[in-house]
Amino acid sequence: MTTLISTAQVRRDIATPLGPLTLVADEGQLRGAYFADHRRRPELDGLETPATHEALDRAEAAYAAYFAGEAADVPVDAVAPGTPFQREVWEALREIPAGETWTYAQVAERIGRPTATRAVAAAIGRNPLTVAVPCHRVVGADGALTGYAGGIERKRWLLEHERG
């Protein structure tokens, strides 16, 4: 488990076809989105759950549109906490078109670091914004579904959902 980013964080649990998803925000920005059994889910107990919160309201609407099939992506204005390298990888993930997949090596190529496949995989594994930063669109070199913090079945469902 990782620790909280700041004491000003708030949370909201939303229902999705894949189970509850916890949204975490602070300073007016979405900072995390985690399934209940998400690997590397930070400790979220004790966070305030306000009835209204601008960032959480926007994020909830964006996730609802995505899961309803009204949006190809989760269009959220989010700032994920991470190292500069991790943020570079996560930005590259947002370039993968909905329903398509790239390999870890393709992501490494995209950021100009073709020999950094393992580091790219590690950064993807630490993505705190599930679905919004579409790490589910990254597959193994042979096209196999691998390494999704929310579970392979969710990864399969998300790709099928996007492909219609």
Q: Domains of the chain: which residue ranges?
A: 10-67, 84-163
pTM confidence score: 0.91
**Of the residues 18, 120, 135, 158, which is catalytic?**
135
The per-residue pLDDT string of the chain (164 residues; one tens digit each, 9 = 90 and over) reads: 344 455 589 999 999 999 999 999 988 899 999 998 888 888 898 899 999 999 999 999 999 999 999 999 997 777 778 899 999 999 999 999 999 999 999 999 999 999 999 999 999 999 999 999 999 999 999 999 998 999 999 999 999 999 98
Q: Which fold has domain 84-163?
A: Arc Repressor Mutant, subunit A (1.10.10)
CA separation, residue 149 to residues 12, 43, 54, 110, 152 (Å): 20, 16, 27, 22, 8
**What tokens were used for 55?**
């960032």
Label residue 10 exposed, middle or buried (CB < 10 Å: 0-12, 13-18, 19+). middle
The pLDDT tens digits for 43-67 are 898 899 999 999 999 999 999 999 9
Residue 66: CB atoms within 10 A of its CB come to: 22
Q: Is 135 in the active site? A: yes
Burial of 6 (0-12, 13-18, 19+ CB in 10 A): exposed
pLDDT of 3 reads 45
Q: Which residues pair with 129 in a beta bridge?
A: 33
pLDDT of 40: 84
- Predicted local distance difference test score (pLDDT) of residue 81: 80
What does the pLDDT read at residue 4?
Answer: 46
pLDDT at 146: 92
Question: Which uninterrupted H or E stretch holds 139?
Answer: strand 138-139
The C-alpha atoms of residue 55 and residue 118 are separated, in whole angstroms, by: 33
Determine the 3-state secondary structure of 27 from DSSP: coil
pLDDT at 104: 97
pLDDT at 6: 55
% pLDDT > 90, the chain? 80
Residue located via tokens 């390298």? 85
How does pLDDT run across 146-161, given as a tens digit for each residue?
Answer: 989 999 999 999 999 9
